[in-house]
Amino acid sequence: MPLELNNANASNLLSFRQRRPSALPLSLSLLAVLLAGTSLAFQLFPHVLSSLKEPFSPDANHASPSVPAPSRDTRQAINSPFSSVLADISESLAPSVVNIEVRIRPQNVRAEEDLFRHFFGGQGFPFPPPQEQGGQGSGVIYNAEKGYIITNNHVVQGASDMQVRLNNGKVYTAKLVGNDPLTDLAVIQLKSSEGTLKAAKLGNSAQLRTGDWVLAMGSPLGFDHSVTLGIVSAMARRVPDLNEEVPFVQTDAAINPGNSGGALVNLYGEVIGINTAILRNGQNIGFAIPSNTVKQVADELIAHGQVKRAYVGVMLAELTPDIIEQLDLFPAVKGVVVGQIMPNSPASKAGLQLGDVIQSVQGVDVLTPKAFQDIVRKEGIGKTLRLDVLRDKKRLMVSLKSEAMNPQAYQTSP
């Protein structure tokens, strides 16, 4: 039976082929439609026809002189919108981020030279005098009209000579306007500049969020005007081993030596931080000073050459169970304990003593040394402060008047 079926099928197939009309007219119709469509496409897109006229070359490096290079609009269309934004930001900020090279003259070199001349009569030294040391970093143009540039204090500290190189290759000498060791910020000024400088726009760092895209711009390891991409890893990061004074912006954008003083930029092309430090025993953990802090400090440095801060001259510590036990206090006692008092300070003049527990300032409870410091700084210089103090299990009120902190004394004591 299968054989019969197969034969029947073959017979039917043969009969169908004999009855099927010729396919030639149908093929000609399809060919006509195809040619008409091709002609219409060439009329609508003439550049397609012109490209087909060019001979194919297997050499990828060969470019026909008759074919122009892709335009900027074409390149932008090929690239994703995100990469175009990054390229535009880098191009726009490049003139505002500078490279800084410094020469640092060793301390007391003049005294050593005079001493050698005294003993050797100017006949020459038995060994060459100490040589100047070089260093480099980055900076951000803050005021184009007056040539002010923001950078890190550790980049220019102790520099006897400073040179600033722009992205166009022009080099200028600069001088120090003011520095703030506490926040590691400094402002320098170009002694003269030819042409027009371009200042960067500082954004509002308070609007940053963890996860925001950022670019780090600077001159790492001497590679001028390099750009790296990352995100904001954390906000208001306190790093006691680095600087407890600054609430850093943490980023994973690659930062290397030479990036210090450079710009951390958001996707609006605004500088939202000054790159400052990296965690050496980690990877992709960098820190930048937030732009709101930068603007406040820079304005004061330009106006006064220093940042004036209120202080009372005490070193404080948190109340731990061990300290509470040593002071024979109740476990529920809250406050901060006085561990050191600076000579001739407001605290010394007011009669504060070691072991005093400060529980509140101006009626506000304090649980950490930083909280106490923030209140003192907020109240300002010359303000009379009321302290609630616990001494020998007795409560007493201490009044003191805050004074201006020595800006060169790098200490975070309030």
Catalytic positions are 154, 184, 260
Question: In this structure, what are the phi and psi dihedrals at residue 222, rounded to the nearest 5 degrees?
Answer: 85, 0
* H-run or E-run covering 97: strand 97-104
User: What is the number of other CB atoms lying within 10 angstroms of the CB of residue 405?
Assistant: 23
Q: For residues 274 and 289, is the Cβ–Cβ distance under 8 A?
A: yes
Q: Count the helices and strands in the chain (H runs, E runs).
A: 11, 20
Distances (CA, A) of 91 to 87, 159, 217, 226, 270: 6, 30, 11, 11, 13
> How far is the C-alpha of 200 from the C-alpha of 142, rounded, in Å?
6
With 0-12 / 13-18 / 19 or more C-beta atoms within 10 angstroms meaning exposed / middle / buried, residue 266 is buried
The H or E element spanning position 250 is strand 243-251
Which residue, among 241, 234, 244, has the nearest Cα to 287 in the 3D structure? Answer: 234
Q: Provide the 3-class DSSP secondary structure of residue 395.
A: strand
Give the span between the Cα atoms of 249 and 240, in whole angstroms. Answer: 14
CB atoms under 10 Å from CB of 224, counted, come to 18
Chain centroid, CA 272 distance in Å: 7
